[in-house]
Structure 1
Amino acid sequence: MTASTDTAGRSPALDPRRWLALTVISVATLTVVLDASVINIALPKAQAELGISDANRQWAVTAYALAFGGLLLLGGRVVDFVGRKRSFMIGLVGFAVASMVAGVAPDGATLFAGRALQGVFAALLAPAALSLIAVTFTDGRERAKAFGVYGALQGAGGAVGLIAGGVLTEYTNWRWCLFVNAPIALAAALAAIPTVRESRAEGERRYDIPGAVLVTTGLVALVWGFTHAAEEGWSSALTWILLAAGLILLVAFVAVERRTSHPLLPLRVVLDRDRGGAFLASLLIGAGMFGLMLFLTYYLQVNLGYRPLHAGLAFLPFSAGIIAAATFGAPLVPKIGPKRLMASGTAVALIGTLWLVMVKATGGYLPVVLPGMILTGLGLGVFFVALPNIALAGINPSDTGVASATISTTQQIGGAIGPALLNTLYVSALAGFFADHVKPVPWAVQLHGYVHGYRVAFIASAVAFALALAAITLLIKKHGSSDVPTDAPVHAPSERESLMIVGSDSAAFWENHYVRLSNQWGTQPNAVLEELVTTLAPAPGTALDLGCGHGGDAIWLATRGFDVTAVDVSPTALQRVTTGARARGVAERVHPARHDLAHDFPEGHFDLVNASYFHTPLDIDRGKVLRRAAAAVAPGGLLIIVEHASIAPWSWQAGKDVHFPGPEEVRASLELDDSWTAERCHAPERTATGPGGQQATVTENVIALRRAS
């Protein structure tokens, strides 16, 4: 169908309620992260009241962390397809109920079960919150600020939890450390109803249950193994059986993810070099940070004799350092680049942790603990604000939730494994220190023994930070933020140089191309088109898809309500479009049409013209084709142009230095008047998949032009 419509209006690119939504989302994020540590200070009183043994008391912490970290990947996938707002609401209400269950626990088993249930709903809430930020803030600089708020709360939540735990334990009851979550979560859920917009990914809703079981049980086995080593020692056969079982289960998880059609964690998300380096650094930072906080809590309460509230307040410099660094560091992301910020922040945290090794048995908060906390907090705050800008850069919109979940997963897994491993090292160091002393050991000697163990734990935390710094330096290649457009001037070649590709006969080339690759390419829409249409939100109307290929874009636009004319020169390509549209139930809205475009062009006007990846090897004036495409845009409509600026190795253009122009060059080349405005112009990098599954990193020039109504 080629008729135009007058109903297409200009929708705002920016959500007017986005900052209110960020406030609601941030409160929910703080609740989840805070609860991971709020129980620490309350645990001694809970242990005494419920009769929990020393061997089992750590499950009050690890049950939450394991359920949270183990199920985050599944939660991220559910979030993408069930709906981000719906998942956010379910997570908040469920978290409130689970908090009440844990708060009224009559025994240790019920407390552990309630904590695990909290972790289950947190695994749904956390990825929903972060992915809502990613899709709500479409402007790169605003998104960096929003991530700054998220980073500040994500990093400071653990320390704030220690303060809240001290206040509630000292002035009310340890159970209020759990009860307090319910009113906050319910208030956030009510506030989200009018402020947060729903969004979801298109596609089949299948979930990788075997993958979720394997990764969760594997992590439980690893943590259980470290815990058993602390109780029975490294010579215990059960310790090594548990650790080996955990590794085998995690290897099996990777094998399942490679073969399943709907993986819990698509390996493309973590195999990207930059993203994988960011995730590895996040895991190591989580291990070092949570382990550090655990033993600082013991040092303050046991060696320095601080009461719960005093111990919580003593963590204020740590919390303030994270918040300040994340807040003031956010504007630096587009200027300095996330890699440099991550590396410098980790280095500062490493120095602060090494400073803590100088702690004394009975004193030293001001000269040792205070400066160590400040340095470590500042460094971690900078790291947290920069992390999402690497981990979520160039991600496919359908993978936003799972990538967001992986950020939190790595931190929670580190938060579960790190303290377990550090506690094992602490117990071993303590046993070695007391081995040469005759029992009963005097209290003064015990304090020196505890400090010896703390120092070993602090050194282990520093090693984790050092490994994180190595991962950032060696694995992450990006120095700038791909989400933030640059205003740097570019070389302006001639129109023929920038808007032409030279080759052989077009029709024969493309027919052979699609016949040869018909079983290797999928029919998924390109990620950039999904992002642009989702964020710019044009009203459904008529659409023209130039060079429709295998039909992914045309079919996806039809599922969004557009009436699509899908144009290609290859009969095989058009047949695949017809078959795919019929399979998706949108055949009545997809109209394949064979046009050469160089000599004949579809007639009429369209509300959206998609010229994404429009290539032709025919020696023609490509600019002329794009000018005709612009002329086909109806008033109020969009013209989308997406091009590879660095060519994938499987392309016939491989090895060529191809330049694609910016918005003003395009306006001049297409002879557009002042009624056209540029909605988007940036050049992100992403991982592209070619025939046969091979991958490569390509840079793309993304331009969206809107014609005035």
Structure 2
Amino acid sequence: MTTLTTAPTPISTGVPAVTPRSTRRWVALSFLALAQFLVMLDASIVNIALPVLGEHLRMDTVALAWVITAYVLPFGGLLLLGGRLADRYGHRRLFLIGTIGFVSASMLAGLSISSGMLLGARAIQGASAALLAPAALALVTQLFPTAADRTKALGIWGAVAGIGSAAGVLLGGVLTAAIGWQAVFFVNVPIGLIVIAFIPRLITRDPATTRTPLDYPGAATITSALVAAVGALSAVDQLGFLHPLTLGLAAAAVILGAAFVLIERRTAAPLVPLTVFRNRNLTAGNLVMLLVGAAMVALFFALSVYMQAVLGYDALTAGLTQLPLAGALVVVAGIVPTAIAKVGAKNTLIGSLVVLAGGLSWLATSPSDASFAINILGPSLLIGIGLGGAFVTATQLSVDGITGGEAGLAGGLVNTSQQIGGALGLAILATIATARTGALEAAGSPAADALTAGFSWLFLGAAAFAITAAIITALLARLARKSLA
């Protein structure tokens, strides 16, 4: 059992063990991971296409920011509801509904002839991803019920998801340069259609379950709270921390979040039973994913801008420089199951987070005239190693001890942690970097040096998130040992 110290506290669901969902589960896993790849890819692939897209659809800077926000808001806000709907109505069913919606919205986005049409399509993409992602992870936990096989499966899952995050910059540059901005959306269509065609043949129909009443007040408050939280974090980057809209959304998120906790404590069938957090592995996995997501999203944003605005790389070259990082991530994700078996999940996770922090700190030393081979390649490899180990192990912990009736909830929680973490990290670290750059420019520093110094602070902040995650993992493991003493 891959635990922090001992076997986790199981979450009782009263659902009996189910028969295997597939006779070709490793093949099924490849298609589920492919769908998760698309979800992760779409969070970053659009970035490089934004200038060209804005020119064609006559969108200004504020409108272009909404191309990203329109996807992130429904995705982050609806994940918990999506996970619960999957538990209630069937994981395969919700996965296919989400994938069909995602493919349809991608086609609509690529065909957009106006900004309104594009933003609407992006919102549908995000809502569909919120159905798809937790259902997919739930299916993985059902396909691989034993600890050893599940760890291997999540190693593959983590590698593919990590590649999706890293590949966005590369594919965005290649597709935009070779075909046009529409290609960053159309690329989802053939891949998604393949997934839709094969999953029904590889995974059995959802078993009949007793449908408990859906917690509508809880669903409404947590969805509104998450949308407000993601909206507030997105507004920070555009409007600042003290703008009335930012403060209003933040206050709404806090109030709605508190209301949600009160509702969940009193309702007979809660959307998110608060008892799930008694599972220390689930709690640790989600906290680590929150912080790793904060570091990862800010990192990929800053690397793309640093290489193009400071080092003068074009979009394609900037994308190609991500290959060593992605390659290291893939290799490490594949060997994480072996590491967990030998040294345990706790040590694997802490070691990965320390390596990640080391790579980010090293990257922070890069000058404004950096050489890729001398200044960036080494840190990129360490970052890839750290991300691969941390992403896979945190995902493993977040679903450890979860049975079928709560699998969608667990998938929704870990994906929500990653999305909220990404928005939080980008808002905080981008603000810090911008303030540092502005101060140096005001003092007369050259623009390239000022930008580099700002990004240096951002990379150090991301390293601090990784170290914090390592400390939390160690503390939770220590508390677990004390409770058993």
Q: TM-score, normalised by structure 2?
A: 0.90
Aligned to 1:459: 460
Residue 351 of structure 1 aligns with an amino acid whose one-letter code is: G
Alignment of 1:419-438 (within 5 A): 419-437=426-444
Provide structure 1 residue ranges, at least 5 long, that are not aligned to the other structure.
1-10, 438-443, 481-696, 699-709
**In the TM superposition, what is the alpha-carbon distance from 1:150 to its structure 2 partner?**
0.5
Q: Which has the larger radius of gyration?
A: 1
Shift of 1:364: 3.0
Q: 1:225 & 1:425 partners in 2: Cα distance?
A: 17
Out of 415, 423, 445, the position equivalent to 1:408 is 415
Matched residue, 2:225: 218
Distance 1:416 1:105, change over 3 A: farther
Distance 1:39 1:22 in 2: 26
User: Which consecutive residues of structure 2, in runs of 5 or more, have no partner in the other structure?
Assistant: 1-17
In structure 2, the residue matched to 1:525 is none
How many residues of Structure 1 are paired with residues of Structure 2 in the alignment? Answer: 466
Q: What's the CA shift for 1:180?
A: 1.1
Q: CA deviation at 1:323?
A: 0.6
Q: Which residue of 2 aligns with 1:270?
A: 277
Could you tell me how far apart the structure 2 residues matched to 1:299 and 1:149 are?
A: 30
Q: Is the Cα contact below 8 Å between 1:356 and 1:368 reproduced in 2?
A: yes
2:107 maps to 100
Residue 132 of structure 1 is matched in structure 2 by 139
Q: 1:202 aligns with which of 203, 209, 224?
A: 209
Question: How far 1:109 moved relative to its partner?
Answer: 3.3
Seen in structure 2, the aligned counterparts of structure 1 residues 406 and 362 have a Cα distance that, compared at 3 Å, is same
CA distance in 1, matches of 2:237, 2:43: 22
Select 1:63's aligned residue among 55, 67, 70: 70
CA separation in 2, counterparts of 1:429 and 1:100? 41
Q: How far apart are residue 479 of structure 1 and its match?
A: 9.7
Cα distance in 1, alignment partners of residues 63 and 461 from structure 2? 23
Structure 1 residue identity aligned to 2:60: S
Residue 335 of structure 2 aligns with which residue?
328
In 1, Cα distance between the equivalents of 2:207 and 2:476?
A: 31
State the distance in 1 between where 2:436 and 2:263 align: 39
Instruction: Return the offset for 1:201.
Output: 7.0
Task: Check if 1:152 corresponds to 2:153.
Answer: no
- State how far apart, in whole Å, the 2-side matches of 1:478 and 1:396 are: 24
CA contact 2:76–2:227 (8 Å) conserved in 1: no
Alignment match, 1:54: 61
**TM-score of the two chains, using structure 1 as the length reference:** 0.62
Partner residue in 1 for 2:185: 178
Say whether residues 1:469 and 2:470 are aligned partners.
Answer: yes
* 1:468 alignment partner AA: A
Higher share of residues assigned strand: 1
Q: Is the 8 A contact 1:74 1:208 kept in 2?
A: no
**SS at 1:358's partner residue?**
coil
Alpha-carbon shift at residue 235 of structure 1 (Å): 4.4
> What are the residue-to-residue correspondences of 1:287-326 with 2, within 5 Å?
287-326=294-333
CA shift digits 1:54-89 (9 cap, x unpaired): 234232223222221211111111111211111121
Correspondence for 1:447: 448
Matching residue of 2:30? 23
Percent same amino acid at aligned positions? Answer: 37
CA RMSD of aligned residues (A): 2.4
Mapping 1:220-239, distance limit 5 Å? 220-239=227-246
Give 1:194's aligned amino acid.
Answer: R
Distance 2:385 2:29 in 1: 23
* Contact 1:274–1:477 (Cα < 8 Å) also in 2: no
Corresponding position of 1:384: 391
Instruction: Give the partner amino acid of 1:135.
Output: Q
Distance 1:479 1:43 in 2: 47
Q: State the alpha-carbon separation in 1 of the partners of residues 416 and 295 from structure 2.
A: 15
Q: Which amino acid in the other structure matches residue 409 of structure 1?
A: T
Mapping for residues 595-674 of structure 1, pairs under 5 Å: none
Q: Quick one: which of 167, 174, 177 aligns to 2:174?
A: 167
Contact 1:280–1:468 at 8 Å: present in 2 too? yes
1:142 partnered with 2:149? yes
Q: How far, CA to CA, are the matches of 2:479 and 2:339 in structure 1?
A: 15
Q: CA 1:13/1:119 → structure 2, altered by over 3 Å: closer, same or farther?
A: closer
Contact 1:339–1:390 under 8 Å retained in 2:
no
Amino acid at match of 2:315: P
Q: 1:392-439 deviations in whole A, cap 9, x for unaligned?
A: 2222431111112211111112122221222222332232223334xx
Asked whether the equivalents of residues 74 and 207 of structure 1 are also in contact (C-alpha less than 8 Å), the reply is no
User: Alpha-carbon deviation of 1:279?
Assistant: 0.5
Structure 1 or 2: larger helix share?
A: 2
- Map of 1:397 onto structure 2: 404
Q: Matched residues in 2 for 1:16 and 1:222: separation? A: 42
Letter in 1 for 2:453: H
Counterpart contact for 1:274–1:478, Cα < 8 Å: no
Query: How far off is 1:200 after superposition?
Result: 4.6
Of 115-124 and 202-211, the range deviating more from structure 2:
202-211
Q: Deviations over 1:547-600 (max 9, x none)?
A: xxxxxxxxxxxxxxxxxxxxxxxxxxxxxxxxxxxxxxxxxxxxxxxxxxxxxx
Q: Assess, with a 3 A threshold, how the Cα gap between structure 1 residues 260 and 177 changes in structure 2: closer, same or farther.
A: same
2-side partners of 1:224 and 1:83: how far apart? 30
